[in-house]
Amino acid sequence: MKIGVLGGGQLAQMIARAGLPMGLEFVFLDPASDACAGRYGHLVVADWKAAVDDPVLAACDRITCDFENVPAATLEALGRKVPVRPGPRAFEAAQDRLGEKELLASIGVPLPPHAAVSTRPDLLAAVERIGLPAVLKTRRLGYDGKGQRVLRDVEDLEPAWAALGGHELILEGFVDYQHECAITVVRAASGELRFYPLSWTVHDEGILSLAIAPAPVSSALEQSARSHVQALVEVLDYVGCLTLELFVKDGELLANEFAPRVHNSAHWTIEGSRTSQFENHLRALCDWPLGETGPRGHSLMINWIGSLPRVDRLLSVPGLALHDYGKAARPGRKLGHATLSAESVSELRRSADAVKPLLDPQTASLLSTEMAGLV
Amino acid sequence: MKIGVLGGGQLAQMIARAGLPMGLEFVFLDPASDACAGRYGHLVVADWKAAVDDPVLAACDRITCDFENVPAATLEALGRKVPVRPGPRAFEAAQDRLGEKELLASIGVPLPPHAAVSTRPDLLAAVERIGLPAVLKTRRLGYDGKGQRVLRDVEDLEPAWAALGGHELILEGFVDYQHECAITVVRAASGELRFYPLSWTVHDEGILSLAIAPAPVSSALEQSARSHVQALVEVLDYVGCLTLELFVKDGELLANEFAPRVHNSAHWTIEGSRTSQFENHLRALCDWPLGETGPRGHSLMINWIGSLPRVDRLLSVPGLALHDYGKAARPGRKLGHATLSAESVSELRRSADAVKPLLDPQTASLLSTEMAGLV
């Protein structure tokens, strides 16, 4: 079977790494000729719109995405030739922060306060209703903290409006959460579901910095996350892996957003579960049996953003598995990740201590806080 | 760093799969244009002799082999340009069954009875001394049961001599062993050593069929295997992974042979250890810190020889990780392997029962015997 992937970044790369040993072949479509997945298959250098008419993609058995902003219309058109999994509906919902929230609300998933903002008077009314601090975001095309402004007091309104006004926006109430977390589920076309354990996630300036799994949460909280994400994939009749990001506030969950694809918060599943999210995404796409999603010990994932430490220093950390994506270094760019695996929390703590000198001070401090909270 | 690999088969493929996420790049030299490692790097299609003058190999930072019959002289010549690890000496010893045995004997490793055979009178004298049954083998270029004949009684002598006479031969006493096993060690240039747990190995017509690890052996036996393989890598001043195959007879170990490379009996380390043999081989080559070699649960590796079962049936087996090498099917050819991982022996037993219907009757029967002996 041949899998076409729209987008040739690290997610596509890890999908291919999981799929090649299962006998799958890969085609990637990406606008960049140096797309890092390219070495794992055939790379078609083209923009998203060209995907619809690309003969190489049309000859694939399944199509999937490593990027959530592929236009839903493109997926719709491709889907008339080749099964596209997950399908356009999930992308359509995830691409519009307002539509996403309306969908989540419609299936009973609790959400932070939010309001649509198209005009300046909308903004003032929304601030009036929701209060400050709040976050003003573009409804479309924002990711990794791009296209958003935090409003702490009224003086922040004008510069935020100057930066973002003119786009369709959404104001989201600032959630005074104790933790962020994420749950990844894989769903087969048959409706079969398997949940990965919840991950603690830690963001820095809107970009995922750390993930710890399994998150040390009550079974009631885990169950609540599962039922939210289950309702979501069922209403979307979703096939593949999906991640729902959530806030934990006073022991309750509030949904943040979801990603209709494999997700950074579940990269730890490569070493930390018997079947990685990448393998299970492909198993679902190909109508193959889903694999086990239980944890193997305790995992800590660290993103390398902008630069990678020296490989010999990284490999001196016990239990560390390195994933260098082979991308050219650029400030703010995700260049790789590492997963620290351990049999116990105390062993994980020792590995975390060993990796700390390799982190920038901000990440090291976030890691210390997380590890202190781990039981 | 760029790694040159002589040979582009599945071992090279798995070396590359381990190395790419550590930021390494790969060049393979293989006489076959469809060498299965090719997709993971740059493939130079040429014979071994051409390696010496190949400019792409000369530009590598390290050279290693996925094939133990690369001429030692080729490695010697290459080693004057690029560090070749492991070095020619280990290959020279492993390529000659007699030299191999003499080396092992010189460091005190117990061996089955054996004798050099060049002439017909040598053969008769050797049979007289060692007795029957015995195995007559070519001293060079034999692997996976090729170039050998079992002598059960005197009537087997003439056909065996007709087939093999004219080559330099060795007669090896037939060992009435209870088990075969293998131990893999990785050694750094600094002399640092890490041992993987001993694997039970099961061969069928000279080809590895199954491996189970960790083998349920006494710590005395494990320690004895370690000291044998340690003596071997130290006398060779070896760098990288090496596997020593052994017989267990009446609670004692007798050496069979060693392979100066990563080895089929340790493929289970991909899922069953925190650092695979492939990753540790590369860490040693690159002078990077060695990784942990302890077991993660219990592993059972099954080779797919000649044909592969349907992927959807394979993936229905709990805890099964598939490694399809992407090679064209041919009788007797290793096309892939699968590793079944489990937390406990009883869980492994359930997975083994689930995989049995996918095996040919002979392998299924060997597996039943092995699992019955597992405690």
Q: Which of A10, A314, A315 to mutate to test the interface with B (most CBs of B within 10 A)?
A: A315
- Interchain pair B326, A283: CB under 8 A: no
Superfamily of domain B179-373: ATP-grasp fold, B domain (3.30.470.20)
Find out whether A8 and A30 touch, Cβ atoms under 8 Å: yes
Q: What average pLDDT is seen over chain A?
A: 95
Q: pLDDT category, B75, cuts 50, 70, 90?
A: very high
Q: By CB neighbour count within 10 A (0-12 exposed, 13-18 middle, 19+ buried), where does B187 fall?
A: buried
Mark yes or no for CB contact B21/A287 under 8 Å: no
Shortest Cα–Cα distance, A59 to chain B (Å) = 20
Give the pLDDT band of residue A69 (cuts 50, 70, 90). confident
The band of A206, judged by pLDDT with boundaries at 50, 70 and 90, is confident
B323 touches chain A (CB under 8 A): yes
pLDDT tens digits for B102-127? 999 999 999 999 999 999 999 999 99
Chain B residue numbers touching A42 (CB-CB < 8 A):
none
pTM: 0.95
Architecture of domain B113-173: 2-Layer Sandwich (3.30)
The closest of B180, B94, B105 to B139, measured between CA atoms, is B94
Pairwise pLDDT comparison (A345 vs A143), residue with the higher score: A345
Is the Cβ of B36 closer than 8 Å to some Cβ of chain A? no
- The amino acid sitting at B167 is H
pLDDT of residue A373: 86
Instruction: Note the pLDDT of residue B147.
Output: 84
What proportion of chain A, given as a percentage, has pLDDT over 90?
Answer: 93
Determine the pLDDT at residue A130. 95
pLDDT band at A163 (very low <50, low <70, confident <90, very high): very high
The model's confidence at residue B142, banded by pLDDT at 50, 70 and 90, is: low
Is A121 an 8 Å CB contact of chain B?
A: no
Instruction: Report pLDDT for A248.
Output: 97
Residue B182 has a CB neighbour count (10 Å cut-off) of: 27
Distance from CA of B342 to the nearest CA of A (A): 9
State the average pLDDT over residues B6-18.
98
Give A 261-290 residues with CB within 8 A of chain B: 274, 283, 286-289
* Residue B337, min C-alpha distance to chain A (Å): 10
Mean pLDDT of B288-299: 97
- Whether pLDDT at B82 is above 80: yes
Q: pLDDT averaged over chain B?
A: 95
Strand order from edge to edge, sheet including B62-65: B42-45, B25-30, B2-6, B62-65
pLDDT at residue number A143: 57
pLDDT in tens, A101-130: 999 999 999 999 999 999 999 999 999 999
φ, ψ of residue A256 to 5 degrees: the values are: -100, -70
Task: Note if the bond before B357 is cis, omega within 30 degrees.
Answer: no
Q: Are B240 and B285 in contact (CB under 8 A)?
A: yes
Minimum Cα–Cα distance from B288: chain A residue: A312
- Measure the CA angle with vertex A12, ends A6 and A13; round to 5°: 145
Instruction: Give pLDDT, residue B339.
Output: 98
pLDDT tens sequence across B91-101:
999 999 999 99
Q: Class for domain A2-84, per CATH?
A: alpha beta
Nearest to A319 among B20, B23, B292 (CB): B292
Tens digits of per-residue pLDDT, B216-260?
999 999 999 999 999 999 999 999 999 999 999 999 999 999 999
The reply to whether domains A113-173 and A179-373 share a CATH topology is no
pLDDT(A145) > 70 = no
Mean pLDDT, range B26-51, rounded to an integer: 95
Is B328 an 8 Å CB contact of chain A?
Answer: no
A20 in reach of chain B (CB within 8 A): yes
Q: With a cut of 90, say whether residue A375 has pLDDT above it.
A: no
For A101-164, what is the HEC assignment? HHHHHHCCCCCCCEEEECCHHHHHHHHHHHCCCEEEEECCCCCCCCCEEEECCHHHHHHHHHHH
Within 167-196 of B, beta carbons closer than 8 Å to A belong to: none
Q: Torsions phi, psi of B292, nearest 5?
A: -65, 140
> Residue ranges per domain, chain B?
2-84, 113-173, 179-373
Across the interface, whether the CB atoms of B315 and A21 are under 8 A apart is answered no
Mean pLDDT computed over A281-309: 97
User: B23 and A326: CB-CB below 8 Å?
Assistant: yes
Write down the pLDDT at residue B145: 61
ipTM over 0.90: yes
What is the interface size between A and B, counted as CB pairs within 8 Å? 73
Q: How far apart are CA A133 and CA A151, in angstroms?
A: 5
